[in-house]
Amino acid sequence: MKFTIENIKAEHQKVKSGADFPQYIRAIKNLGVSHYTAYVADGNTEYFSTDNNSAQTGSKYDPLPFPSI
């Protein structure tokens, strides 16, 4: 795995508007990110490499309760 969460955060800091988003995606793909999953329940984001290793940002807040349906 070529990237760290710090690498991704550094690229994310460059995003100032929606117009910057395509360059952000290109930059993290160049770092080796193949895809990512954002977890709404706690704000964690998991980034996956092309060889399916991953790095996580960790929870940003306590899990949000979701009512049963």
Structure confidence by residue, pLDDT tens digits, 2-42: 899 999 999 999 999 999 999 999 999 999 999 999 998 89
How much is the pLDDT for 67? 81
pLDDT at 66 over 80: no
pLDDT at 3: 94
Q: How far apart are CA 20 and CA 28, in angstroms?
A: 13
pTM of the model: 0.84
Question: Residue 8: what pLDDT?
Answer: 96
Half-sphere exposure of 34 (CA within 13 A, CB side): 8
Phi, psi angle pair for 27, to nearest 5°: -65, -45
Amino acid 57: pLDDT: 96
Cα-only R_g, the chain = 14
